Structure 1
Amino acid sequence: MNDELRLSDNDRINALQALASHYAEGRLDHVEFDERTEAVTQARTNGDLRPLFADLPGGLQEALTPTRMSGVVDTQTDAELERVRTVGKKIETYDGVVFSVTLASFFILMFVFSISWAWVVWPVMAAVMAIPRVIGSFSESDEKTYQELKKAEEAERVERLRQATARLRELE
């Protein structure tokens, strides 16, 4: 294994997964794990990674070899997250439409037709909003996961914009 070869993103991911396994098995403490994972993210070549795995079973060669099991788990996890993201976006759009129609209905019934029981549209709205969640098997934990995904995506977007702005300032 040539120490001068540059690392790919997949190499770094495999190295991070190997460190996570060693940490989970108790070979690394929390501080060592944090230091080594930070070093992996900064590494550019195989030689940069070699000392991080020198005292661990399997060494660098095993760390850079993807494990089949983690790939299967990652694929299943990615598919599930994509399902949550897709269904969550549809439900979010549906909720917006239902809320808008409900609000318009309330104001029309209340102020145009002076119907005193116009408040009934709000419980109906709650029931109507539950329908796609039941049909799409979108549980409360899926809803929380979707909200976390949205926050993470927004944080990534903000960070990319910050980096782009910083880079533009550097180039000026």
Structure 2
Amino acid sequence: MVHMDDHLRISDNERLTAMSSLASHFTEGRLDTVEFDERTLAASQAKTRGDLRPLFADLPGQLEGALTGTGSTGPAPREPELDAELEQVRARGARVETWDGIIGSVTLAAFLILMFAVNVSWAWVVWPLMGVVVMIPRLINHFSDSDEKTYKELKKAEEEARKVRLQRATKRLKELEEG
């Protein structure tokens, strides 16, 4: 990684880039609201790269990543056991969700083709067959009803938390631009 001279003065664009990077870290849950507010205020008042460096010292990509746009934007670290279990449920859930979409699309296409193109009166039979076929990805992926419930709750919680953080980050960036 190339070391940046901490004594060089920064531009308004670099300040905005740094604040946007902090907003990304905030929306991904690495910073809480107080830390985000403090760091974006400090970034808006920074004169040199050295003023920005401490704001990114404990974040993936650090200052260089923030100013070049190459900083990590992966998920925040968690407890290894919990992280592994959640990742397994998330991965299995995503696979099952993908297969559900494929099976639903194929079923709809088969129904429409049988009903309208071939004019088969028993085309309705594809719908009960779909109910059976959607069980196959669940069995293959060992995806139980409790896993499905956990996956849906996890997905909903992540979407809600991200939405709140994005709204807060957007509001804070607007405040700093106006101020």
TM-score by length of 1: 0.56
User: 1:161 Cα shift?
Assistant: 1.1
Which letter maps to 1:103? L
User: 1:42 Cα shift?
Assistant: 7.0
Instruction: Give the share of equivalent positions with the same residue, in percent.
Output: 61
Matches of 2:151 and 2:120, distance apart in 1: 38
Matches of 2:34 and 2:110, distance apart in 1: 57
The equivalent residue for 1:3 is none
Which letter maps to 1:146? Y
Q: Which structure is higher in RCO with an 8 Å CA cutoff and minimum separation 6?
A: 2
Q: Deviations over 1:97-124 (max 9, x none)?
A: 1101100110110011110110111111
Where does structure 1 differ by over 6 angstroms across 4 or more consecutive aligned residues? none
* Equivalent position to 2:128, from 117, 123, 129: 123
Count of residue pairs brought into register by the alignment: 102
Matches of 1:149 and 1:126, distance apart in 2: 25
1:163 aligns with 2:168: yes
The equivalent residue for 1:25 is none
* Equivalent position to 1:146, from 143, 148, 151: 151
Matches within 5 A, 1:1-172: 74-171=79-176, 172=178
Q: Deviations over 1:29-64 (max 9, x none)?
A: xxxxxxxxxxxx979xxxxxxxxxxxxxxxxxxxxx
Matches of 1:157 and 1:136, distance apart in 2: 28
Q: Secondary structure at the match of 1:155?
A: helix
- Compare the two structures and name the one with the higher helix fraction: 1
TM-score by length of 2: 0.54
User: 1:129 Cα shift?
Assistant: 0.8
Which letter maps to 1:157? R
Q: CA RMSD in A?
A: 1.8
